[in-house]
Amino acid sequence: MTHARGERAALCDLLDTLGPDAPTLCTGWSTRDLAAHLVLRERRIDANPGIALKPLAGYTASVQEGLKTKHSFSELVGLVRRPGGVYGLLPPLDEAVNTLEYFVHHEDVRRAQPGWEPRELPDELERLLWRRLEMGARIMLRRSPVGVVLHRLGGGVALGGAKEGPKVEVTGKGSELLLFCFGRQEHTRVDLTGDADAVARLTRAPLGI
């Protein structure tokens, strides 16, 4: 099983366990909202642009609400469980695009629940997440008001954020650094070193793609 399929299956199992009204780290979204988002992303290409483009967000939101009305929660989860659209036809594309998507959203659900702890991920997945972060750190940290130096435990450094002014060093596992750079700063296990004001500004910054 690929990492994308594994994270997809684990997320769906967790959604089935928690039900439609559990919280997530996606602001304002319950587990039902997240499931509808994932169905829309793969099966309603017409509504995809509004995920990233604010002028089109209204249409995307209306389609997402329509999916919630049309399908029960268990139906939505069933649709998420089976890769849809082009991802169902091209497993290599599913792995390339959806490994991060489903890892992050799996953690969005896990870490919104009381008593969560980081998972012990396979070494291969940890390395993959770090490689993706190395490639995307500057984009993900482009809105950081301070410079950022990412230190991966076990080796590896990536840079991003503001080129001038104070810098904050962030140290942790590759998976934790990835979640930090995806905007989940307050729900990661990392060490931050730097000026207190710079650390606070980075923690509050709207990071991510």
Domain-embedded: residue 143:
yes
Verify that 101 and 132 share a domain, yes or no.
Answer: no
Verify that 177 and 136 share a domain, yes or no.
Answer: yes
The residue from 110, 137, 154 where one domain ends is 110
The count of C-alpha atoms lying within 13 angstroms of the C-alpha of 181, restricted to the half-sphere facing its C-beta, is 36
Domain-embedded: residue 115:
no
What's the confidence (pLDDT) of residue 5? 95
Verify that 143 and 46 share a domain, yes or no.
Answer: no
What's the confidence (pLDDT) of residue 92? 87
What's the confidence (pLDDT) of residue 209? 85
Domain-embedded: residue 119:
no
Which of 111, 50, 37 shows the shortest CA–CA distance to 76?
37
Domain-embedded: residue 173:
yes
What's the confidence (pLDDT) of residue 202? 98
What's the confidence (pLDDT) of residue 91? 86
Verify that 105 and 197 share a domain, yes or no.
Answer: no
Verify that 11 and 98 share a domain, yes or no.
Answer: yes
pTM, rounded to two decimals: 0.94
Verify that 76 and 145 share a domain, yes or no.
Answer: no
Number of domains in the chain: 2
Verify that 104 and 141 share a domain, yes or no.
Answer: no
| Domain interval for residue 73 | 3-110
What's the confidence (pLDDT) of residue 90? 84
For residues 32 and 28, give the distance between their C-alpha atoms in angstroms, rounded to a whole number. 11
Verify that 143 and 80 share a domain, yes or no.
Answer: no
Domain-embedded: residue 209:
no
What's the confidence (pLDDT) of residue 138? 97
Domain-embedded: residue 166:
yes
We report the CATH number of the domain holding residue 134 as: 3.30.1050
Domain-embedded: residue 46:
yes
What's the confidence (pLDDT) of residue 84? 85
Domain-embedded: residue 117:
no
Q: Copy the structure tokens of residue 174.
A: 């590759």
The residue from 59, 88, 110 where one domain ends is 110
Verify that 128 and 105 share a domain, yes or no.
Answer: no
Which of 163, 166, 207, 167 shows the shortest CA–CA distance to 187?
207
Verify that 84 and 131 share a domain, yes or no.
Answer: no
Verify that 33 and 97 share a domain, yes or no.
Answer: yes
What's the confidence (pLDDT) of residue 85? 85
- At CA 148, angle to CA 143 and CA 151, rounded to 5? 135
What residues contact residue 163 under an 8 Å CB cut-off, 6+ apart? Answer: 147
What's the confidence (pLDDT) of residue 88? 82
Position 25, amino acid: L
For residues 130 and 76, give the distance between their C-alpha atoms in angstroms, rounded to a whole number. 31
Verify that 102 and 19 share a domain, yes or no.
Answer: yes
Q: Which residues of the chain have pLDDT under 50?
A: none
The residue from 110, 139, 157 where one domain ends is 110
